[in-house]
Amino acid sequence: MERDKNFILGVYEDEDVLLDAISKVRGNGVKIHEVYSPFPVHGIDDVLGYKRSKLPIAAFLFGLLGTILALTMQFYMMKIDWPMIIGGKDHAAVPDFVPVTFELTVLLAAFGMVGVFMIASNLKPWGQPRIFDIRITDDKHVMAIDLAVNSSMAESQLTDVLKNSGASEVNFKSFE
Amino acid sequence: MHVTSSVREPLITGGKTLKDVTHDISRQVEAKPSMGWLLAFLFSVGVLLLGSIALVATLWEGIGMWGLNKTVGWAWDITNFVWWVGIGHAGTLISAVLLLFRQKWRMAINRAAEAMTIFAVICAAMFPVIHMGRPWLGAYWALPLPNTFGSLWVNFNSPLLWDVFAISTYFSVSLVFWYIGLIPDFATIRDRASGIRKTIYGALSFGWDGAAKTWSRYESVALILAGLATPLVLSVHTIVSFDFATSVIPGWHTTIFPPYFVAGAIFSGFAMVLTLMIVTRKVFHLEDYITIGHIELMNIVIIITGSIVGIAYITEFFMAWYSGVAAEQYAFMNRMFGPYWWAYWSMMTCNVISPQLFWFKKIRTSIAATFLLSLVVNIGMWFERFVIIVTSLHRDYLPSSWAMFYPTISDVGVYLFTFGLFFTLFFLFAKFFPVINMAEIKSIVKSTSEKVTK
């Protein structure tokens, strides 16, 4: 059986039942493909075993780039390219460079991080998501299990695991 | 299990389920525009067109169309600019600062408040752009672009230039923050829709799939954006206040300006949020999401920031006397008893006295009183900027050049134009975008709705 094509889906009504179910299902040796929710469920990355996002590092690096660019630009323009005495101060009046440096740091950190987020999560205007269950943007949580990945277990076995973990429905979904 | 303390009022009333949340908020996006909305929208467009006449006249003839003279070189334009920027402070404060403080009541109002912020900043930015007279050349004056005038760069020592960077950063970061929050909700609308609407909301939702991994990243992004936006929101009005504070005009040259301006900005921003939300909750029947509790909390923010503003007024006065500088002392006496005394006393009444009424629980939980006082605060905050700017300029060191400022029809018209623009954009937002963050509200339905507190 090919991977990433045929899924068994457990539908959950409640986020606390879901969190509990994820632990139970994983405890049974089942590998979960992904869980889809209508809202962010706190603590779900821990029970799914997801590592902490590296986005803060991206934000920091882009922020640093912003700081460096802003300072370089201001020193170059005010001190090197066209030095002028303004208000009797040094050409490079460093305290005056603080506001623009701060703003560009924030600007680059924010845009850089959001850009990385968009790329990492494959978000784009022409993006066509794979919808396992249309209700996951409304009121249901759906746990998707790839049948090929868990081929050591029979479908009926997986159904039982999901049912026992508190799923209100168990469905099958295949993608072309 | 989630347990809610019985002391705490529920944030969502009416025993809503997740499905109810989706339905209640998507409903107005999907329904045909109501007659009321259509009339209000057309009225705004009308105001926009009327104001455009003044705008075009100003651009065609030049800034001479305004009531400025050689003594009062800044008047309505910058008053309106500071006023709009101030209003544009509440949205990001609500969504960023209250997120860092884990204030869950923000969730019902942050979407609309941020939209208001973005539209207010657009209106604010109109004034510096228009006042350049030839805005199509303005990019050379405002941005560090290589140019044919001898590669003369912009002046990084000037607070006016800092403003360019502060406001454009604030605008774009707020826009991104707002849009990231909208993506999951657009996905909800996409999944309920069909046909062309599905295509449009599908594109707007950027192919959102609701996966746990995506949500986890989304939460990181929201938290860091909040962390970045918090100092940003404080920096913007600080820098706006530098436009005045770094000058040597009596009445402007004071170190109290940055915190005083920031408090004033939050004060007026919350007032505008209240004005808009009271109408929105009524029109779209969102009383279960934006409760009296929300209104009361916002009113408390208004008491606090209003009192800070009041203390700042008194401190300025005290410092003028204590400094012993005759010009400074005269500037403040002139504000109170000079030819613009009416502006000063309107400001004092609207900003210092009226918000103190919110100490009475009856008043701060009354919708009619809140709505009225929110308008009063916005009027007061406009007068505050007018007082600071015009009364300080019109009588400075040289009595022979003392003058008065009288607005012309173009001054009024350009201000009207921004009102038209603001409400046109807000009505479009209210009709076509989900006005409440559904995903965030759903995350607190279980813990803070009436059903579980029983």
Tens-digit pLDDT profile for residues A150-168? 888 888 888 888 888 888 8
Question: pLDDT value at position B307?
Answer: 93
- How would residue B95 be classed by pLDDT, with cut points 50, 70 and 90? confident
CB-based contact, B92 to chain A, within 8 Å: no
Give the other-Cβ count within 10 Å of B23's Cβ: 16
Q: Supply the DSSP symbol for B353.
A: I
Flag whether B373 is in a domain.
yes
CB-based contact, A14 to chain B, within 8 Å: yes
Flag whether B82 is in a domain.
yes
- The Cα–Cα gap between A168 and A12 comes to 6
- CB within 8 Å of B97: residues ≥ 6 apart: B226, B230, B233
Total number of domains constituting chain B: 1
Chain B nearest-CA residue for A75: B156
Query: B248 in helix, strand or coil?
Result: coil
- Give the strand order in the sheet containing A169-174: A34-36, A141-146, A6-12, A169-174
From A55, A77, A126, residue closest to B224, measured CB to CB: A55
**Substitution target from A50, A128, A137, A175 for chain B, most B beta carbons within 10 A:** A137
Q: How many helices (H) does chain B have, and how many strands (E)?
A: 20, 0
CB-based contact, B144 to chain A, within 8 Å: yes
Tell which wins on pLDDT, A105 or A19: A105
Indicate the pairing of strand A34-36 with strand A169-174. unpaired
User: What one-letter code names the amino acid at A118?
Assistant: M
Q: Which of A7-16, A114-123, B158-167 has the lowest mean pLDDT?
A: A7-16
What's the CATH code of the domain at B392? 1.20.1630.10
Measured between CA atoms, how close is B313 to chain A, in angstroms? 26
Flag whether B382 is in a domain.
yes
Whole-number average pLDDT of chain A: 88
Q: Supply the DSSP symbol for B108.
A: G
Torsions phi, psi for A172 (to 5 deg): -115, 145
Query: A5 in helix, strand or coil?
Result: coil
Range(s) of the domain holding residue B345: 18-453
CB-based contact, B206 to chain A, within 8 Å: yes
A46 vs B contacts (CB less than 8 Å): none
A53·B217 Cβ contact <8 A: yes
A107 vs B contacts (CB less than 8 Å): 169, 172-173
B160 vs A contacts (CB less than 8 Å): none
Quick one: average pLDDT of B299-305? 92
Query: Which token pair is B107?
Result: 């969730």
pLDDT of residue B450 exceeding 80, the answer is no
Question: Position of tokens 């998707």?
Answer: A144
Query: Which token pair is B379?
Result: 């009027």
pLDDT of residue B217 exceeding 50, the answer is yes
The percentage of chain B sitting over the pLDDT mark of 90, rounded to a whole number, equals: 56
Question: Position of tokens 């000058």?
Answer: B247
Query: Which token pair is B194?
Result: 């069909």
Quick one: average pLDDT of B88-106? 85
Question: pLDDT value at position B7?
Answer: 59
CB A142 within 8 A of CB A17: no
- How would residue B357 be classed by pLDDT, with cut points 50, 70 and 90? very high
Flag whether B13 is in a domain.
no
- The Cα–Cα gap between A22 and A141 comes to 11
Measured between CA atoms, how close is A90 to chain B, in angstroms? 11
Question: pLDDT value at position B176?
Answer: 93
Quick one: average pLDDT of B365-382? 92
CB-based contact, B145 to chain A, within 8 Å: no
Question: pLDDT value at position A156?
Answer: 85
Quick one: average pLDDT of B91-116? 87
Q: At what angle do helices B35-61 and B409-432 cross, to 10 degrees?
A: 140
pLDDT of residue B2 exceeding 70, the answer is no
Q: What is the pLDDT of residues B237-263, one digit of tens each?
A: 999 999 999 988 888 988 899 999 999
Question: pLDDT value at position B149?
Answer: 64
From B17, B161, B176, residue closest to A139, measured CB to CB: B17
Helical (H) or strand (E) element with B158: none
Distances (CA, A) of B8 to B107, B116, B373, B396: 16, 29, 27, 54
Query: Which token pair is B75?
Result: 């008047």
Helical (H) or strand (E) element with B146: none
- The Cα–Cα gap between A54 and B449 comes to 34
User: What one-letter code names the amino acid at B228?
Assistant: L
Tell which wins on pLDDT, B391 or B445: B391
From B180, B188, B218, residue closest to A138, measured CB to CB: B188
B217·A44 Cβ contact <8 A: no
Q: What is the pLDDT of residues B308-345, one digit of tens each?
A: 999 999 999 999 999 998 888 999 999 999 999 999 99
Give the other-Cβ count within 10 Å of A115's Cβ: 13
3-state secondary structure string across B391-426: HHHHCCCCHHHCCCCCCCHHHHHHHHHHHHHHHHHH
- Give the domain ranges of chain A: 6-52+129-174, 55-120
Distances (CA, A) of A156 to A4, A22, A149, A162: 19, 18, 15, 10
Q: Name residue A11's beta-bridge partners.
A: A142, A169
Quick one: average pLDDT of B184-188? 92
**Substitution target from A35, A46, A50, A121 for chain B, most B beta carbons within 10 A:** A121
From A55, A78, A100, residue closest to B165, measured CB to CB: A100
- The Cα–Cα gap between A8 and B325 comes to 80
pLDDT of residue B454 exceeding 50, the answer is no
Helical (H) or strand (E) element with A35: strand A34-36
Quick one: average pLDDT of B340-357? 92
pLDDT of residue A147 exceeding 90, the answer is no
- pTM here is 0.92
Flag whether B9 is in a domain.
no
Q: At what angle do helices B159-192 and B195-204 cross, to 10 degrees?
A: 140
Query: Which token pair is A46?
Result: 């821990």
From B155, B169, B180, residue closest to A86, measured CB to CB: B155
- How would residue B141 be classed by pLDDT, with cut points 50, 70 and 90? confident
* ipTM for the predicted complex: 0.92
A123 vs B contacts (CB less than 8 Å): 183, 206-208, 214
Considering the segment(s) A6-52+129-174 as one domain, its CATH architecture is 2-Layer Sandwich (3.30)
Question: pLDDT value at position B32?
Answer: 86
B192 vs A contacts (CB less than 8 Å): 138
Question: pLDDT value at position A13?
Answer: 86
Flag whether B3 is in a domain.
no
Among A100, A77, A95, which Cα is nearest to B162's?
A100
CB A6 within 8 A of CB A172: yes
Alpha helices in B143-211 (DSSP H): 159-192, 195-204
Residues counted in chain B: 454
B221·A36 Cβ contact <8 A: no
CB B340 within 8 A of CB B390: yes
pLDDT of residue B451 exceeding 70, the answer is no
- The Cα–Cα gap between A24 and A124 comes to 35
User: What one-letter code names the amino acid at B266?
Assistant: I
User: What one-letter code names the amino acid at B428?
Assistant: L
Query: A120 in helix, strand or coil?
Result: helix
Indicate the pairing of strand A34-36 with strand A141-146. antiparallel
CB-based contact, B140 to chain A, within 8 Å: no
User: What one-letter code names the amino acid at A140?
Assistant: K
Question: pLDDT value at position B59?
Answer: 92
DSSP-assigned letters across all residues of B2-18: ----TTSPPSB-S---H
The percentage of chain B sitting over the pLDDT mark of 70, rounded to a whole number, equals: 96
Question: pLDDT value at position B453?
Answer: 41
The alpha carbon of residue B310 and the mean position of all alpha carbons in its chain are separated, in whole angstroms, by: 20
B191·A126 Cβ contact <8 A: no
B211 vs A contacts (CB less than 8 Å): 34-36
A50 vs B contacts (CB less than 8 Å): 212-213, 216
Q: What is the pLDDT of residues B256-292, one digit of tens each?
A: 999 999 999 999 999 999 999 998 888 888 888 888 8
Query: A127 in helix, strand or coil?
Result: coil
- The Cα–Cα gap between A110 and A101 comes to 14
Question: pLDDT value at position B92?
Answer: 85
Chain A nearest-CA residue for B162: A100
A14 vs B contacts (CB less than 8 Å): 446
3-state secondary structure string across B320-341: HHHHCCHHHHHHHHHHHHCCCH
Distances (CA, A) of B97 to B103, B104, B223, B226: 9, 11, 10, 7
Q: What is the pLDDT of residues B64-85, one digit of tens each?
A: 999 999 899 899 999 999 999 9
Alpha helices in B257-291 (DSSP H): 257-283
Query: Which token pair is B156?
Result: 């990084």
